[in-house]
């Protein structure tokens, strides 16, 4: 078709077009070989990730059960008004840190 319009292609283009089907077949063959080589590793990795996920869920459930049983931070005798001094102390520490970081940025 191109010759009808006076366009000539170099010889290397013709050779590439002629060998393209064989190269494509070889590429597909290598792809399938790589896939079959890597597949067992992927299966092992998937199984390991599933195991680790189940272990994490089990540990989280055990920790949650322990936390609910011991409640290390609960103090039933204290009301919200009794906690205000603690929150005030935390707020003052936070403000001191902010002031220190602002002074270090300015200096």
pLDDT by residue for the chain (107 residues), tens only, comes to: 677 888 888 889 889 989 999 999 999 999 999 999 999 999 999 999 999 999 999 999 999 998 888 776 666 666 667 778 888 888 988 888 888 777 777 75
| The two three-digit tokens of residue 36, written as one number | 């079959």
HSE, side-chain direction, 13 A CA sphere, residue 23: 6
Task: Count CB-CB contacts under 10 A for residue 15.
Answer: 10
pTM of the complete model: 0.45
Phi-psi region of 8 (alpha: psi -120 to 50; beta: other; left: phi over 0): beta
| The two three-digit tokens of residue 25, written as one number | 């077949």
CA dist 87 to 35, 50, 98, 99, Å?
59, 42, 16, 18
């Amino acid at each position: 078709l191109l010759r009808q319009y006076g366009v000539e292609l170099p010889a290397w283009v013709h050779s590439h077009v002629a060998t393209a089907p064989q190269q494509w077949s070889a590429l597909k063959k290598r792809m399938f070989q790589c896939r079959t080589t890597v597949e067992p590793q992927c299966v092992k990795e998937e199984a390991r990730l599933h195991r680790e996920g189940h272990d994490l869920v089990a540990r989280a459930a055990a920790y949650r059960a322990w936390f609910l049983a011991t409640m290390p931070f609960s103090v039933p005798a204290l009301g919200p008004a009794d906690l205000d001094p603690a929150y005030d102390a935390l707020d003052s520490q936070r403000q001191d840190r902010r002031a220190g970081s602002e002074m270090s940025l300015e200096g």
